[in-house]
Amino acid sequence: MRAARFHRFGGPEVLEIVDLPDPHPGPGQVRIAVRAAGVNPSDWKKRKGLMDEQLPQTMGHEAAGVVDELGEGTQDVAIGDRVFGFSVEGAAQAELAVLSYYAPIPPSLDFPGAAALPAAIETATRALDQLGVGSGDTLLVNGASGSVGSAAVQLAVVRGARVIGTAGPANHEYLHSLGAEPVAYGAGLVERVRALAPGGVDLALDVAGSGVLPELIELADSPERVVTVADFNGAQEHGVTFSRGDAGRAVHALAEIGGLIEAGRFSLPVARTFPLTEIAEAHRVSEDGHVRGKLVLLVG
């Protein structure tokens, strides 16, 4: 099969499409013929050597496609089913991928729309679970217009929370459409949030990693009420929880999202799609950081 891989760290030019042996599912897993695979900031961070040291590396943790092989004991899905989910091996940007966690693709979604979901909804759900976001809470989301941020906004609204979200002015109407009250990021953030919530907020989630943890702590009145998914060093410095998947993934989000999508209560736009052969350009766009919605590779 063809798959994305790199054998040295560096810029997007180190990415290659290579031929690798076909993978096969283990117990409880499925293999899919990949139709679309999500692109995440962790991809270019790995490519630059900022996360993992091993070489070579394959790419991608989320994909959508058609089941073509079942692992031993797998009974909740059939050959030919449309599913989306996670490749824990990090090899989803390929013609074939083994999924360890998966769910049926909601009827109203195409393959790119489904491939956009797993990382964003799992990360957002995990952070909301860690914060204990519930009905009546006021939640501040820093970086609310990206894929994880917009997922967090919508899922928090479903839980009954009031959501204030930071974003650039061009994305304020978008945040309104998701059910959030938008505020501009940058200097004066505390004052702008207090204009909407004079007593501060109950909880805060940092998705952007833009160095505002002290302000979020001030607004939430305690580092214990703040979680970041993007600022590891800041979390250590300020006593904030850094949410990471290896501490336990919120894979229950995969099975729960379909009902919300079909009820019109959740959507995650696909910003751009790229053929697998143009993965380098997808990395350039992702690394630039000015994307509303998800970048997706088309395969097959």
- Walk me through the domains of the chain, giving residue ranges and CATH numbers: 2-116+269-298 (3.90.180.10), 121-246 (3.40.50.720)
pTM: 0.94
User: What tokens were used for 219?
Assistant: 């607004």
pLDDT tens-digit profile of 221-232?
999 999 999 999
Other C-beta atoms lying within 10 Å of the C-beta of residue 10: 11
Paired sense of beta strands 181-183 and 203-206, if any? unpaired
Strand partners, 99: 30
pLDDT tens-digit profile of 128-145?
999 999 999 999 999 999
Q: Is the pLDDT of residue 178 over 80?
A: yes
pLDDT tens-digit profile of 236-276?
999 999 998 766 788 999 999 999 999 999 999 999 999 99
